[in-house]
Structure 1
Amino acid sequence: MDTSTKNNLTDMTSEALRHVSLGDLARAEESYQHIIPVMQQQEGTEAASRELYNLSNVRIQQQEYSEAESILRDLLVPLAQRPVDEDTVHFLEQEAGSVRMLSQSLSGQSKVNGTLQDGFKDVNEQMQARGTCYGLLAN
């Protein structure tokens, strides 16, 4: 990727974050909608995972739970299948955050019942076990 494209993506990401901090969620969403396809094309899907995560957070804040659910389910597939490397801790944290936001989006759609909530507890426990197994987290 050339320097101007990288700088442009950095500027666009900063703009999206600024809109979030100002509470202008519609503009933040619009910014992420522009950033994500460019980043996916230039750097690959994994590189855009942070922006997808942020977009789903914006959607939840706007009570667009169904849209957030779709993004998060798509995001969790590659996160859960990611090989262990020097960036694993970062991606485990992102995976855990994505599961929490998926729970919020399902709750917002009244799709969560006691059994499903218990399942999320199990997922968090599974992720904790993964981190411990990888030697990334203390017991």
Structure 2
Amino acid sequence: MAQVTPDFSKMGGLVPAIVQDAESGEVLMLAYMNEEAWRKTLETGKAHFYSRSRGQIWLKGETSGHIQEVREVLLDCDADAVLLKVKQHGGAACHTGYRSCFFRRLREGQVEIVGEKIFDPEEVYGRKGA
């Protein structure tokens, strides 16, 4: 089997990482990985990402306890995007407390909340979610 790694040269050292529930197929979130986050994800089996706003690696769920256990890793055809199929522990992937970051739907020019809120971000992080 050939070893393929993401091409980190195209977006300033980052690749988009789509996170999907391994059982339901629901898209949970989009984040970014650099080489260190990629390596830590493969080494630990837990999703690690690169925070563009903080400029550092973070383990998903480190504060909230909502860890993502990686079940499968796929790379796109150009190796410049990653798909992680995960088991979402704790129920919520979104820092705003929703199961998925994609909890708003645009319908007829209006935004409606369609996702399930799992926790209050103010209680978990000491601040309100976005």
| TM-score computed with the length of structure 2 as normaliser | 0.31
Larger radius of gyration between Structure 1 and Structure 2: 1
| TM-score computed with the length of structure 1 as normaliser | 0.29
Q: Which has the higher contact order (CA 8 A, sep 6+)?
A: 2
